Structure 1
Amino acid sequence: MSYSNQSQTNITVELQYQGFLEIVFFTILTTVTCCVFLFINVTLLFTLRSKPVFCETSRYILLFNLLLADTVQMAEGQLMYIIAACKITMTYPLCGFLNMLGYLTNEISPLTLVVMCLERFVAVCYPLRHAAIITVRNTGVAVCVVWAFSSLSVFIQVLLMLKFPFAELESLQMNDFCGKDHMMLDPVAADFEKVYTCFLFVLAGVVTISSYIGVMIAARSASTDKASARKARNTLLLHLVQLGLSLSSTLYNPLLIVIFENLDRLMFLRIQNIIYICTIMFPRCLSALIYGLRDQTIRPVLMYNLCCQRFSPLLSVFQTKAKISKLVT
């Protein structure tokens, strides 16, 4: 009997040690990857403010707003991941602030994509009025509306959280790690988040698909620039993919709840790490790669800044190719 208990104890200790090693491995892996992409994102943000052409063009202003939200979301998500991996607990106010920051930036991304889709739609379908409609001032107003609308939703979430009687708790220190589900103490708050998230992504999906259809129809007309319409169509498809990836991040907590109820702890930790990389980190890394490397105007400047001006001969080749492609198109 004692031998059986000893074997059971050894197996338990071995599984705990194996789980600890996997947590350390995935924490280092995700942290290093996150730091690399944060460096790329910050460099691209600097690039978008380094030249007047980026500061005075609407689509680059919108890209800056999208990239800023994705960068903050990625940094906040990785911070929360490290805190959970280290089993660090925090107070309810601090956890609420971090969750609301992530909630805010997670809403700004799809709303910014909606505005970017409308900008491409106007550029193709109403090219003569594009300069009058899509101005720097109007773009700034659109960005302010996006932030205000997202902030309003966060404010409502905070009010719903405050309905919980925190004064009756013995301490504001949390007993578990900080997570969105542990802050949705009022059922109404959770219901509001689900309804608002569905509304947000249905709205964004309808606008993106409608813009794509409008561009497709305009591309068939003889008066439309075929090359411009083709680029706008490809851009809208990328927006739609990004929208789907942004939606995947909202499935993170529900998936974890289902998996936690059906698997042992070690397998749960493995799948949790994979889901985190696929739904939280990977979508936030795509903006810089998609727009930074795809745009012929941004790419040479971004490569120049990333390489810290060390590989000037190689970068001059990229710049020459970019100029040639502009002349050809």
Structure 2
Amino acid sequence: MADNRSLVGGEPLQRQINDKVIIVQILVMIFLCINFLLIVTFLKKESLHTTARYMLFATSILSDSFILFMSDILLIFNYFEITMNVWSCIIISVVALLYSTVTPVTLTAMTLERYVAICMPLRHGELCSSRSTMHCILIIHGLSSVPCIVVLSTFFASASLRFYKQYSICSVEIFILYRWQDHIRSAVYQFYFLIMCITIIFCYVKIMKVAKSASGENRKSNWKGLRTVILHGFQLMLCLIQLWCPFIETSILQISLRLFIDVRYTNYILFSLAPRCLSPLIYGLRDETFFLALKNYAFFSLYKRNI
């Protein structure tokens, strides 16, 4: 009898879930604080918010912060089984869907910026000016809104008026009323990530060729750019795997509720939180200019260096 309770939501399982939720809150708060510090550093240092790669970096940090905050709110609502009106859930889901796509699209744009800087250095100033980067950020948000529009359009075309008046636990899955909607959503996301993967592989090959033929400081700088592209590719891979998680979780739910909860928690940590926590590592710590500015503001100007 004790075993059955643990499988269907008895006391032992509830304690386990509670511990996991607390761990997530700690992780989310830590990374939100780090992201806030990075954004403050970006805004305070004029040379950073007029440079293309740092402007794109700030966009990805803001996007990651939105996703961390919104996913954590939904996690808490799901854990305590708090229901809300479908219209309120639509508003929250629009933000979640939009910024879950902004991050990988921005990663692709940052990879292209590194490609231009290394393979087309004479045109970098023209193609990656502040004005061009602002236009690029608008294009990123426009492209990122397409999957969101597709998901909501299929939902609005299928849902009855009565459905909007209902109260439900908010999840993006409530917009998938029929199997064909799930197929359309999956096809759109897979197409996006295929294009992004091709772009990153193309940039990696081109940068690698230039890095091998370069010498001295240029060679060192080019190999550093190559490592940055590899890290972007790793982030993108984690984001791609996140798309497969719902299919895996649905299959596991048929086997065991306990295993389903463990797998869903692991997927959330590895494929939702982890990709959003790599950006501070890639640019916040590896980039010397940004790291020195960050160190200066983090320690209340204790370190005075001319960057």
CA contact (8 A) 2:238 2:271 kept: yes
* Structure 1 residue 283: Cα displacement: 1.6
Aligned residue in 2 for 1:20: 14
Aligned residue in 2 for 1:195: 187
User: In the alignment, does 2:258 pair up with 1:248?
Assistant: no
User: In the alignment, does 2:60 pair up with 1:66?
Assistant: yes
Structure 2 unaligned regions, length at least 5:
none
* Structure 1 residue 100: Cα displacement: 2.3
* Structure 1 residue 13: Cα displacement: 4.9
Aligned residue in 2 for 1:29: 23
Matches within 5 A, 1:150-165: 150-165=144-159
- TM superposition score normalised by structure 1: 0.86
CA contact (8 A) 2:228 2:282 kept: no
Q: Deviations over 1:223-271 (max 9, x none)?
A: 89212211111111111111112112222322211111111x2332233
Matches within 5 A, 1:247-266: 247-263=240-256, 265-266=257-258
* Structure 1 residue 304: Cα displacement: 3.4
CA contact (8 A) 2:242 2:267 kept: no
Matches within 5 A, 1:295-310: 295-307=287-299, 309=300
* Structure 1 residue 299: Cα displacement: 1.1
Query: What letter corresponds to residue 244 of structure 2 in structure 1?
Result: L
| Secondary structure at 1:241 match in 2 | helix
User: In the alignment, does 2:243 pair up with 1:231?
Assistant: no
Alignment match of 1:129 (pick from 123, 126, 129): 123
Alignment match of 2:270 (pick from 272, 278, 285): 278
How far apart, CA to CA, are the structure 1 residues paired with 2:163 and 2:289?
A: 56
Alignment match of 1:291 (pick from 248, 268, 283): 283
CA contact (8 A) 2:63 2:100 kept: yes
- TM superposition score normalised by structure 2: 0.91
Query: What letter corresponds to residue 252 of structure 1 in structure 2?
Result: C
Aligned residue in 2 for 1:85: 79
Alignment match of 1:268 (pick from 256, 260, 268): 260
CA contact (8 A) 1:62 1:143 kept: yes
Aligned residue in 1 for 2:34: 40
Greater Rg over alpha carbons, structure: 1
How far apart, CA to CA, are the structure 1 residues paired with 2:55 and 2:236?
A: 19
Alignment match of 1:219 (pick from 207, 211, 214): 211
- Further displaced range: 285-294 or 16-25: 285-294
Provide closer, same or farther for how the CA distance between residues 20 and 218 of structure 1 changes in structure 2, counting only shifts above 3 A: same
Provide closer, same or farther for how the CA distance between residues 306 and 249 of structure 1 changes in structure 2, counting only shifts above 3 A: farther
| Secondary structure at 1:52 match in 2 | coil
Provide closer, same or farther for how the CA distance between residues 47 and 272 of structure 1 changes in structure 2, counting only shifts above 3 A: same
Q: Deviations over 1:50-77 (max 9, x none)?
A: 1110111000001011111111111111
| Secondary structure at 1:55 match in 2 | coil
Percent identity reads 26
| Secondary structure at 2:167 match in 1 | coil
How far apart, CA to CA, are the structure 1 residues paired with 2:149 and 2:130?
A: 28
Structure 1 unaligned regions, length at least 5:
1-7, 324-329
CA contact (8 A) 1:163 1:186 kept: no
Alignment match of 1:102 (pick from 89, 96, 99): 96
Aligned residues: CA RMSD: 2.1
Aligned residue in 2 for 1:141: 135
CA contact (8 A) 1:121 1:215 kept: yes
Q: List structure 1 segments (4+ residues) > 6 angstroms apart after TM superposition.
A: none
- Further displaced range: 270-279 or 234-243: 270-279
How far apart, CA to CA, are the structure 2 residues paired with 1:171 and 1:110?
A: 34
How far apart, CA to CA, are the structure 1 residues paired with 2:215 and 2:282?
A: 29
CA contact (8 A) 1:57 1:136 kept: yes
